[in-house]
Amino acid sequence: MTIDLIFKIEFTNLIISFQKKELNKFKLFLRIFFVFGMIFSLDLLVKFLILKKMKKILLLATLAIFSVTAVNAQKSKAKKTTKAVAAKVETPKTAKTSTSDGAGMVFENETIDYGTIPHNADGNREFVLTNNGNKALVIESTQGSCGCTVPTKPEKPIQPGEKGIIKVHYATDRVGAFTKTVTVTSNAVGSNVTPVTTPATTPGGAPVPTGKSTKVLTIKGTVLPDAPAATPATETKS
């Protein structure tokens, strides 16, 4: 039953009582005032209850939204943490040991500096290389630029990932500064070697690859002359 219906029923009863002379004007006024007061109080009570209920609903809705937001934020943070940990423990990529399909040849140093050395000093040095390809490296020959520079090549093929040594001897009985080269011929491929080709078989044709390549190494230094022999002192006759 709504407040409007209650008001209509009470007001109708008052009119009927007044018509039956059960109420005089003063009592009718008091009853009307009482009814209005009661209706107004009921209306305020209903509004208060509705407002209080709405406040509870709003509070519950706010708590629910906050809870969902907190859960989503926690999940998002957990995902970011997982990604960060995954990035930290990611398996490091294996460094490529092969730069091309074939044998490779990379030297630790392509130039050896003897520095300044005495006459007839030890003239032996070593070039250290690594096969960074995926096939066995075969060094066919090593050639010095003159008879004073004598290299020695490895006799066995150098397998992928293995190291090899090219020995070189310089004749330090020669006095003075020197710069010599060692030419290495092998089956290595790559940008650090020079392919060996033969002339084209047809006019205007391209050179024909031989499957070989060369690499030029350098040695340099200075050989000091021997110190002059001391002149014996001459005796003076009195």
Task: Give CA angle at 149 (145, 154), nearest 5°.
Answer: 100
Q: Which residue, chain included where needed, has tokens 């995902």?
A: 79
Taking residue 93's Cβ as centre, other Cβ atoms within 10 Å add up to 6
147 - beta bridge partners?
Answer: none
- Name the packing angle between helices 25-88 and 3-19 (round to 10°): 180
pLDDT score, position 85: 44
The pLDDT score that the predictor gives to residue 78 is 67
pLDDT in tens, the chain (238 residues): 555 666 667 667 767 766 666 656 666 667 676 766 766 676 666 667 676 666 667 667 766 776 767 777 777 766 666 555 444 444 444 334 445 689 999 999 999 999 999 999 999 999 999 999 999 999 999 999 999 999 999 999 999 999 999 999 999 999 999 999 999 999 999 999 999 998 877 787 788 888 999 999 999 999 999 988 777 766 666 5
What are the DSSP calls for 134-164, one per residue? SS-B-EEEEEESSTTEEEE--SSPBPTT-EE
5 φ/ψ angles, rounded to the nearest 5 degrees: -65, -40
- Which residue shows structure tokens 């005796």? 235
pTM of the model: 0.55
Longest dimension (CA), the chain: 185
- The residue to which tokens 């392919």 are assigned: 195
For residue 160, the Cα-to-chain-centroid distance in whole angstroms is 27
